[in-house]
A and B are shown apart, each in its own frame.
Chain A
Amino acid sequence: MASIEVRKETCVGCGVCVPACPFGAISMEDDLAVISDDCTLCGACESSCSFGAIIIRTGETDGTSISDYSGVMVIAEQRDGIVDHCTLELLGEAKRLAEVDGSVVSAVLLTEEGGEWPEKLIQYSADIVYIAEDPALRHFRTEPFSRTVEKLINKRSRL
């Protein structure tokens, strides 16, 4: 189980962590930071302590590793077949993120008919465009949209 600990030998009692806690869970007792049960393990104090006296330990997780996945995917928002401007802005941001580790920017367009949009998305710096065309994708609905994207992500991560 995850836990939090103040290392007694490292804590200098400066009190900087007390106001850093958004939940009022830290108090000073005999020049030592003490953490109460109100702590939600949010982690805000850990970075506030310049002495590294606060340590949050995590336990075992379910084994899915984020490193099995790579790339930045932008889900294109379309209304009546027209891709929203925010999607184009997102592609710019995705490019910036992808440059950090040299990964691929992809755009997913779920629509009734893609028309010229895939090309446009490439012009706006998508490396790959996935298109799902179906009359059921004409208007946004949670299930068809999320299931299509979920399948795509799972398929791609195993490539």
Chain B
Amino acid sequence: MRIVVAVKQVPDTAEVRIDEERGTLIREGIPSILNPFDSYALEEALKWRDELGGTVIVVSMGPPQAEAVLREAVSMGADEAVLLSDRAFAGADTWATSHTLATAVEKMGNIDIVLTGKQAIDGDTAQTGPSIAASLDWPQITFVGNVRELSEKHIIAERYVEDGSEVIKSSLPVVVTILKDANIPRLPSLKGKMRARKIEIPVWGKDDLELPEGEVGLDGSPTRVVNIATPEIFTDGQIHHGEPEELAKLMADSLLGTEDS
């Protein structure tokens, strides 16, 4: 079994602080982490590899620093890692990102499954997994909370949807996006950490992937972010404590503007 896990490096939103004066988010010095959802995708891959044998390859597209999340994945037990990095990839939207990732999967060869997280905590589109499937022309199972069965021939997985779950069977190769309900990610092992420090991570650019300029980065992106806004921060809210009756009166007064009567 050859399993690919796509992982993304994201800013640790738990560490984002607010510039009270300007009312904006302070982004400088925010540590980068492995997208939390991707650790569940990785754990799922490691779990099945441990059971069936095979190889887990982690891949990330991003700037050279994104290598850090690949090393983290190796410390958890991934066998191989590939970084997709090239100035020409900058400005990629979900279409270009998925197309680049899918081309890398093709280059790796003989892949049975591609796993992704449900979504990235910064981009938040949840489009990359489905779009990789479209680019490869493979079937896909999204929002998987439980992989019931996996063999060389097929996969049976539960999709968690609004009103329950759907059990889907699919042939391989397949793209699966994983929810955090699927498992509890393992911690890095000491041996894993040592491997992670030493492992050589190849860097593939657009020429390695034989992709034309019009299919990568900003030039290959049909969509464009035209504005990014930070939510305005209000600090003049009030908190009241007291008995329900008292609070109800306060609320009614403030809504009706009858505070002083």
Chain A interfacial positions (CB closer than 8 Å to B)? 1-2, 19-20, 22-24, 37-44, 47, 56, 58-64, 66, 139, 141-143, 146
Assembly CA distance A37 to B90 (angstroms): 10
> 28 pairs across A/B with beta carbons < 8 Å?
A1-B88, A1-B217, A1-B219, A2-B217, A19-B19, A24-B27, A37-B63, A40-B90, A41-B217, A42-B225, A42-B228, A43-B225, A43-B226, A44-B225, A47-B226, A58-B219, A59-B213, A59-B214, A60-B213, A60-B214, A61-B220, A63-B214, A141-B168, A142-B133, A142-B140, A142-B142, A143-B139, A146-B134
Q: Once the chains bind, are A142 and B139 in contact (CB under 8 Å)?
A: yes
Q: Does B218 contact A (CB under 8 A)?
A: yes
Chain B interfacial positions (CB closer than 8 Å to A)? 19, 22, 24, 27-28, 63, 87-88, 90-91, 130, 133-134, 139-140, 142, 166, 168, 212-215, 217-220, 222, 224-228
Q: Once the chains bind, are A43 and B214 in contact (CB under 8 Å)?
A: no
Which residues of A have CB within 8 Å of B214?
59-63
**Taking A22-B27, A56-B218, A62-B220 as contacts, is the C-beta distance between A47 and B213 under 8 angstroms?**
no
Assembly CA distance A141 to B215 (angstroms): 29
B227's closest neighbor in chain A, by CB?
A47
Assembly CA distance A8 to B227 (angstroms): 23
Q: Once the chains bind, are B220 and A23 in contact (CB under 8 Å)?
A: no
Q: Once the chains bind, are B27 and A41 in contact (CB under 8 Å)?
A: no
Assembly CA distance A146 to B228 (angstroms): 30
Q: Once the chains bind, are A39 and B90 in contact (CB under 8 Å)?
A: yes
Q: Once the chains bind, are A19 and B22 in contact (CB under 8 Å)?
A: yes
Q: Once the chains bind, are A41 and B90 in contact (CB under 8 Å)?
A: yes
A42's closest neighbor in chain B, by CB?
B225
Which residues of A have CB within 8 Å of B63?
37-38, 40
| 8 nearest A-B residue pairs (beta carbon) | A41-B91, A2-B218, A62-B214, A44-B228, A59-B219, A41-B218, A41-B90, A61-B214
Assembly CA distance A43 to B63 (angstroms): 17
A142's closest neighbor in chain B, by CB?
B140
Q: Once the chains bind, are A40 and B22 in contact (CB under 8 Å)?
A: no
Q: A38-B63, A42-B228 are in contact. List 13 more A-B contacts (CB 8 A).
A: A1-B213, A1-B219, A2-B90, A23-B27, A24-B27, A40-B63, A40-B90, A58-B218, A59-B214, A61-B219, A62-B212, A64-B222, A146-B134
Q: Once the chains bind, are A42 and B91 in contact (CB under 8 Å)?
A: yes
A79's closest neighbor in chain B, by CB?
B163
Q: Once the chains bind, are A19 and B24 in contact (CB under 8 Å)?
A: yes
B162's closest neighbor in chain A, by CB?
A79
**Taking A23-B27, A66-B222 as contacts, is the C-beta distance between A44 and B227 under 8 angstroms?**
yes
Q: Once the chains bind, are B139 and A60 in contact (CB under 8 Å)?
A: no
A19's closest neighbor in chain B, by CB?
B24
Assembly CA distance A42 to B227 (angstroms): 9
**Minimal beta-carbon separation of B141 from chain A (angstroms):** 8
Which residues of B have CB within 8 Å of A1?
87-88, 213, 217, 219
Assembly CA distance A64 to B221 (angstroms): 11
